[in-house]
Amino acid sequence: MKRQQKRPWIYLISSPVRLIPLSFLSAILVGTLLLWLPISTASGQHTGPLTALFTATTSVCVTGLVVVDTAVHWSLFGKVVILALIQLGGLGVITVFSMLMMLLGRKFSLSDRTLLSETFNLSTRRGMVRFMRQVVAGTFLIEGIGAALYLIRFIPRYGILRGIWYAVFHAVSAFCNAGLDILGTNSLCGYAGDTFVLSVTMALIIAGGLGFVVWFDLFASISVLLHPNDLRRRGRLRLSEHTRLVLHLTAVMIVLGAVLIFFAERGNPETIGSMPLGKAILNSVFQSVTFRTAGFSTIPQESLTDISCLIGCIWMFVGGSPVGTAGGVKTVTVFIVVWNAICYIGRRRSTAIFHRRISEDMIRKAAAIVVVSLTTTVLLSAVLAVVSGASMQDSFYEMFSALATVGLSRALTPSLSAAARLLVIVGMYLGRIGPISMALFFANVRSTKQRMEFAEGRFYVG
């Protein structure tokens, strides 16, 4: 009997590799429809379809680039839609949908657990339902703490109801690394000297950028410290090699970025040059943190020096850490590629860190992600420069920001043509799901070449 083949559209959505990008696309389309409605705008009129699409994409992809002023253009309903899209994009569409299904009493099948593991980019299906619960609970807990801290500043300034609304919106936006704000036209420039607000914002950004796996490892360690009997039984406290690597890389990137920005901008009166020393250091640290995927700004990005723009593009490309709300190719990915080169030059037998070997498959995956992402970013940046007529520097800054889901712009986004905006939309979408994921989306996963072993060839490099 002839085997019945799957219909093309069923095959298209049957794989997690395909379902995850489609879920984000569906959320963007629904968000576009909601933001297009007259009730979503402050004027009570329809927003242009392209503006609605751009705003929905930047919200779901937690990017932060905007073509209209979020605080002025959108009504309360529109802002609630944007907030919901940010939360949906930060947690992941599959995660939110799975949580709703669990609340309705649905049991998770093996395919459901596989989908969740692909959503979080984990290599195991064990404990995925418990992991998902912890992610959702931890997200709401940290966002709640952030909102409570924001209340200290926002209620005295904006009143009780508006202060609560602003606190909730910005806590979610900061933790999800979205960078969207409803404070006005200049992001957080009005708080450039407020150490408390900037510190809360940086803490939320860093928490979202560390990754869920690191959270749970840190929480488990804190729990052990609070129970001396457990500490004595385990002998000594140990964080996983992944957590230690992420913490080291995060600290290095924040400190190094702040130092480089401080010296690059200290003589620039349009950024931090005219600020007192303490305020200049604070804003340098904030810029280093926000470069890595947040999108909030306390200084005008179009006034940055050339060296700061270069640092920004590099930091945006690297982004945050895996299994979190941050964008970019991720710190550990870049580290593996660089460290593998260092180990090869040093004639080491294997690529290892913290006495743990990094697998060949992981090295190949990291190299593929870096190459595909960098190639995509450079090509789209060049096309954007041609389409928009903007300088290469501004175009590279814009597209690095879009693909890394950062949201910083050198005042270029609002002036882009329709074609250029569509290009940035594509960049934001690719940045959220990852260019390598889109490549796998169209790949022929059934190819027999994947199961074949070839004889070793003689090639020459270097």
- With residue 30 as reference, give the H or E element that holds it: helix 16-36
Residue-by-residue DSSP string for 235-304: SS----HHHHHHHHHHHHHHHHHHHHHHHHHTT-TTTTTTS-HHHHHHHHHHHHHHHTTT---SS-GGG-
Quote the mean pLDDT of the chain: 85
- Spatial CB neighbours of 134, under 8 Å, sequence gap ≥ 6: 212, 216
Contact 180, 66 (CB under 8 A): yes
Distance CA 316, CA 312 (A): 6
* Residue 386 in this model has a pLDDT that exceeds 90: yes
Question: 30-34, 136-140, 230-234, 263-267: which has the minimum mean pLDDT?
Answer: 230-234
> Does residue 364 have a pLDDT over 70?
yes
Whether pTM exceeds 0.85: yes
The mean-pLDDT minimum among 89-93, 156-160, 348-352 falls in: 89-93
Helix 306-318 with 392-403: angle, nearest 10 deg: 20
> Closest by alpha carbon to 51, among 69, 39, 63?
69
> Scanning the structure block, which residue is given the tokens 């810029």?
287
Higher confidence at residue 115 or residue 328? 328
Sorted by sequence, the CB contacts under 8 Å of residue 197 that are 6+ apart come out as: 150, 153, 188, 191
Q: Is residue 12's pLDDT more than 60?
A: no
Is it the case that residue 56 has pLDDT exceeding 70? yes
pLDDT per residue as tens digits for the range 389-433: 999 999 999 999 999 989 899 989 999 999 999 999 999 999 888
Q: Does residue 16 carry a pLDDT above 70?
A: no
Q: What is the pLDDT of residue 10?
A: 43
216 by DSSP, 3-state: which? Answer: helix
